[in-house]
A and B are shown apart, each in its own frame.
Chain A
Amino acid sequence: MVWILISLVVAALFAPLVTRLAGRSCGRVLALVPAAACAWFATRIPAVAAGERLVEPVAWAPSLGVSADLALDGLSLVFALLVTGIGALTMVYARGYIGNDPRLGRLNATLLVFMTAMLGLVLSDDLVTAFVFWELTSVSSYLLVGYDHANPKARAAALQALLITGAGGLCLLCGVILIGSVGGTYSVAELVASGDVLRESSLYLPILLLVLGGCFTKSAQLPFHFWLPGAMAAPTPVSAYLHSATMVKAGVYLLARLSPALGGTDEWLALLVSFGAATMVYSAVVAFFQTDMKRILAYTSVSALGTLVMLLGIGTADAAAAATAYLIVHALYKCALFHVAGIVDHECGTRDVDRLGRLSRAMPITCVAACLAVLSMAGLPPFLGASAKSLVGHAEHALHMGPVEWAAMLTVLMTFAVGALLVWRTFFGRRDGEDLPKHPHEAPIDLWFSPLLLGSLGLVLGFFWGPLAHHLLEPAAAAIAPGVAPELHVHATAGAYALKAALAAVGLALYVKRRPVVRALRLWSVLAWFGPERFYDRGLVAIEWVARAVTRRLQSGSLRTYLAIVLASTMVLAGYPLLKNGVPLPPSGSFDIRVHEAAIVLAMVLATVFVMATSSRLAAIAALGIVGAGMSVTFLFFGAPDLAKTQLAIETLSVLLFLFILYRLPPLRQLSTRLQVWRDVVLSITVGGFFALLVWGLTSVDGASRLSPFFAENSLALGKGHNVVNVILVDFRGIDTMGEITVLAVAALGVLGLMRVHVRERSAS
């Protein structure tokens, strides 16, 4: 499995090159990699169905308890098949859809990176590794949504998706860390095996909320759902792959994965079922009011995600199997429908359902694919959708909760209405006179191939329900809700059929009366003003406002402001611990001074005073040199010959440098008013007094370093040097010195750069 991930990364690296070389067939060439991966995963089906759990240990950071172990069980296998299978179809479709755009290479590469991340997420056994892949899917999604980067709307949508899933990612990270500290391991398998450790911990509720924060944002649950319709700014292949079939299901995946360790409690049931059911019914209704095919599909995807979250909340083995079945069915038909929407957009120039109609004659193959997909979506037998929906219905019914059943029925009803709107209206409906931007005609094979295949799969798999249930659903359900075998035999009663027929009739009636219904409910759109999206927009504006205000205050461009902030913070932060136990007094006997020391100190002080007072540049530089030399001598008196030497050398260089620059600068001028001078005198004395106190405080404690004896002992033994200071610099703390050299090099480059600017300007003039 590691090799699959590696080969996908390699494919991503070479994707731009392949795209350029292979031209028209680049999609088909690149699709070979995920297709091969899909085939490999398919060969593992029998082993996994037999109850095996394939593990590939990969060491990452064993000292931190973090591994990159990969594991393949029933749940991972279903996701892996979807990610690689639909991924391969997406690569083909993307070439057909994007055409000969020069950015296609980048798109292909990013898609493959995303594929790697998603596959890594569903295969990793370790939560930390899974989190890394999780974030990688967010980042690649950002790049893919913002593919059309010249379009400000696409950029805003990409940022919105990134910010919301990123915020959720932070929640998830906190949750993962809490899980690790409570459960003592990051390995999912071990967490599941440890039973009730997490559920009985006092931190259970915070953990649950944090994990749900991550999963709900990623899987677009209310109230975070709005980023998903926004993300439809992405090119259609991306929407189909990321925002319907795979990435948005990452949250569902993680919930399913953690359900044996976290699930089964009242909180779990209440939160997941309520949020899931609310999302399911709300989005199903909202979808009906959209006219953009992609937005309709986006809202139905959100609705499906809500259904999945609700099923995981129910948490029984039956519900787990129903969730898996629905997951597969949804991925097949929704991806096909997205691809159909892309074809319609591509060939007609619009995807507004109100402008489309009567396309069945112009694009028959696409029409067949769309019909296959939508019938599976509606859950009509013998399509796979029928069996899946029947399982879902049973699981909901078993919950014995009135509101949930009502919500489920309303959702089914709306599904019929939306399905009719999507396919009947587009392909068979009346076109309102108006001409389409393009003359509709059938799409090339690259485009219709994948929706036709996916749609047919929905039909064919419907006939192989038994093997499918045994080979995929049972193992996956066993990973989500271990211990109990799910009831997978679909037995539809006449009552169920009658109910479904009634719902279908109402749904279709709703479709027929769509215009009046939409008009009657238009007032509801006022509600959008109070919706979470507005909250997001306002929040963004507020954050920018605060950032701008803070920047304006802190980064005023005035040196004095910077100094004031830095020194005030230093004085407050260091002053509190310093003065907590009273003003530090100079240690006794620390005022002894010898004549030569007094002379040097006095010389330094006088020179400094002179520097401040003089208006002659040359005199100031000379006096500065005296201060530096005084420093050097002080170092020498107190046992630091290396410091003395360095200081002297540096001081000489400094004086030379000052002299070079000196006559290119104006003379020293007195610019401040007298009041300003006095203000600065007072401030300076405060600062100076504080630092003198600080040094007193520091010297009155036992300043003997606990590190120094180590250096003294080991300088010769380990560092092979007699001069301890030098050994510290080049050996024990060599990396510090490395940083120091880097600073010098950067400063030198800066100096050079500034000088060159000057030279160029002069030669230009």
Chain B
Amino acid sequence: MESWLAIVVGFMYAAGFFMLLRRSLMKVIIGLSIFTHGANLLLFTAGNVTRVGDGVQLPIVPHGAAALTGAYADPLPQALVLTAIVISFGIQAFALVLVRRAYQAVGSDDLDRMTSTDTEEGALLHELPRRRGSVRGFLPWRRTRAA
């Protein structure tokens, strides 16, 4: 099963990364969310994953026992992932509000047109060229420039 999960992790990373590279702000936020799922699943899978049942117990000390013995699901990655889930929620909430606020201020949801932090009219008034097959903006580290 680990290998299937590994493939899912890779897929989540790929999908999240693809969405993060979009110019639409909304898609970037969605990408962040998918990326987070991928990272959490990576942490979870990297510690041994075990199916419950078949003699493997939950990481909970049974009543009457003094300690957890025998085979059990590894509690440590679970604790780490739990922290990560909560933190990612905080980040996501902040990012969402930030995006909403930025959209309001700049008046554009296009990352490539958000060249300034506080100019409402500076949110590039002219339309960017969108020619099919244009090589402009191919290099990922170059921001697409207005013609």
Contact = CB atoms under 8 A, between A and B. Distances in A.
A758 B67 contact: no
Q: Which of B33, B52, B59, B76 has the most CB of A within 10 A?
A: B59
A627 interface: yes
A591 B3 contact: yes
A737 B84 CA distance: 10
Interface in B1-36: 1-15, 17-28, 30, 33-34
B125 interface: no
Given A564-B140, A640-B44, A683-B140, A714 B13 contact: no
B3 A587 contact: yes
B110 A705 contact: no
Nearest to A719: B61
Contacts of B5: 601, 634, 695
B14 A676 contact: no
Interface stretch (A60-68, A332-340, A643-651): A643-651
A669 B4 contact: no
B2 A723 contact: no
Interface stretch (A134-142, A198-206, A685-693): A685-693
A751 interface: yes
Given A641-B58, A668-B26, A699-B6, A751 B44 contact: no
A688 B112 CA distance: 25
A585 B110 CA distance: 41
Contact of A699 (B45, B103, B110): B45
Nearest to B89: A650
Interface string A623-645: 01001100100110111111100
A553 to B, nearest CB: 9
Interface string B89-112: 111111011111101100001111
Given A637-B52, A665-B99, A688-B14, A723 B3 contact: no
A393 to B, nearest CB: 68
Contacts of A598: 4
Given A688-B14, A704-B48, A661 B19 contact: no
A612 B87 CA distance: 24
B122 interface: no
A590 B30 contact: no
B24 A716 contact: no
Interface residues of B, number: 101
A695 B2 contact: yes
B41 A751 contact: no
A658 interface: yes
Interface string A724-765: 110011000100110010011011101100110110000000
Interface string B35-65: 0011011101111111110001111111101
Given A563-B17, A712-B68, A716-B61, A657 B41 contact: no
A578 B70 CA distance: 32
A639 B51 contact: yes
B83 interface: yes
Nearest to A585: B3
Tier of interface size on chain A: 35 or more
A733 B41 CA distance: 21
Interface stretch (A296-304, A373-381, A504-512, A554-562): A554-562
A587 B52 CA distance: 20
Contacts of A635: 44, 81
Interface in A650-692: 650, 653-654, 657-658, 661, 664-676, 679-681, 683-685, 687-692
A534 interface: no
B85 to A, nearest CB: 5
B73 interface: yes
Contacts of A674: 132-133
Given A611-B19, A744-B89, 18 more contacts: A564-B140, A620-B30, A639-B51, A641-B58, A667-B26, A673-B133, A673-B134, A681-B18, A684-B14, A695-B45, A715-B68, A716-B61, A723-B59, A723-B60, A724-B60, A736-B83, A740-B83, A751-B97
18 contacts: A560-B21, A561-B140, A598-B4, A620-B30, A638-B51, A646-B85, A650-B86, A665-B25, A666-B103, A669-B109, A671-B110, A676-B137, A683-B17, A690-B13, A713-B67, A724-B61, A750-B97, A754-B98
Interface of A: 556-561, 563-564, 567, 586-587, 590-593, 597-598, 601, 604-605, 608-609, 611-612, 617, 620, 624, 627-628, 631, 634-635, 637-643, 646-647, 650, 653-654, 657-658, 661, 664-676, 679-681, 683-685, 687-696, 698-699, 703-705, 707-708, 711-717, 721-725, 728-729, 733, 736-737, 740, 743-744, 746-748, 750-751, 754-755, 757-758
